[in-house]
A = this chain, B = another copy of it.
Amino acid sequence: MNLNTNYSKLQDSYLFVEIARRVADYKAANPGANVIRLGIGDVTRPLGGAVVEALKNAAAEMGTVEGFRGYSPDSAGYPFLKNAIAGYYKSKLGVDLPPDTFQVNDGAKSDLGNFLDILGHNRVLVPDPVYPAYVDTNIMSGNELIYMAGNEANGFLPMPDYTLDADLIYLCSPNNPTGAVYSKAQLTDWVNYALAKKAVILFDAAYGAFITEPGLPASIFEIPGAENCAVEFGTLSKMANFAGTRCGWTAISDRLIINGESIAKLWFRRQSAKFNGVAYVIQKAAEAALSPAGLADCQTSLDYYSANAKIITGALGRLGATYYGGANSPYIWLKCPDGLSSWDYFDYLLKEKNIVGTPGAGFGVNGEGWFRITSFGSRENTEEAARRLIG
């Protein structure tokens, strides 16, 4: 039996384990401390009323002989949901794509990882700091990783370097962990680079719904030419609080042709053999999330997180801190004060302010000296954390 030996090259994902260890140690030594966690990238607001109703109705339907559904018609999802996603892109983003562009998935993470299955060995550009799953999945596939530095000089938005030949490019905008957002002009540069290099952009649009500033692109398909060079991974995890409900989509135009092959067809073939579609009740819940009532619920939740972000950035502003994100993003990417390292600042915040965040160094070498705070906490905890920061 041969194993995939690339797995031995993976680094243990020690970031959140180490955070948990330090917090546990501190709490053991200080049992009375009221520690506020603003480190997690997980949503906390409840599912909207339209989604809950849809789930209940679909459950009742599945309990009747007449309403019961077995396997989805195919692995890519029911037409009702593909239509709802296409309608959302058209009405909210001004992007007009045929419904079959959207292959429904159980969240962006599965497809971002599994997508490498249809590819061979490639040269892969990833930003640094970076969402760790991009790196891990490429190590598992034995790909050659090339890191693009995100830093203050480029506003944590690395741009194309034409002296580098890449096959695959990961972009996440609004970015996790930095909260930075590419402009249309910048994404146009990336699309032009990908077209010139015959490369494919994997665009992680998980945080697009957090954009409030007019003109900033929430989808790579707002850029002309993207249909010929990009795959977009969308999800309801953050916009509709579906992190624990699992539904999203992978958008591939039938105009994306590589080496004469339709990538949409290759991906569909892959999914047909290794995926059996998303649960019917979840697809109905996702359809409800994208209905007018559901989108109103989403907006209420997005506004809640956005107000949290303003409370935190307000405090940081009073401190004269340097930070990115917070607007158009649930993440605030903070420069550690006084030249502290990420972990030293982590310890300072934990011990002096009883606030837990995420050390930027955990997202790559360019994250050293930076720190991620999220707006996903409760209002009460966020306000208390802000008071402690300026106190």
Contact = CB atoms under 8 A, between A and B. Distances in A.
A140 interface: yes
A277 B110 CA distance: 10
Interface string A268-303: 011011111111111001000000000000000000
B68 A59 contact: no
A5 interface: yes
A215 interface: no
A180 to B, nearest CB: 24
A103 interface: no
A243 interface: yes
Interface in A170-224: 198-200
B3 A198 contact: no
Given A56-B59, A109-B274, A199-B1, A71 B243 contact: yes
Given A43-B70, A110-B275, A274-B114, A119 B60 contact: no
Contacts of A381: none
Nearest to A132: B273
Given A269-B7, A277-B246, A59 B47 contact: yes
A244 B120 contact: no
A266 to B, nearest CB: 6
Number of identical protomers: 2
Given A43-B70, A275-B109, A244 B3 contact: no
A4 B52 contact: no
Contacts of A83: none
Contacts of A258: 1, 3
A150 interface: no
A140 B276 contact: no
A384 to B, nearest CB: 17
B106 A243 contact: no
A239 to B, nearest CB: 13
Contact of A281 (B55, B110, B114): B55
Given A118-B7, A120-B2, A244-B280, A68 B45 contact: yes
A117 B70 contact: no
A163 to B, nearest CB: 19
A276 B118 contact: no
A170 B274 CA distance: 16
A52 B45 contact: no
Interface of A: 1-5, 7, 10, 13, 40, 42-49, 51-52, 55-56, 59-60, 62-65, 67-72, 106-107, 109-110, 112-114, 117-122, 133, 136-137, 140, 167-168, 198-200, 241, 243-247, 258-259, 261, 266, 269-270, 272-282, 285
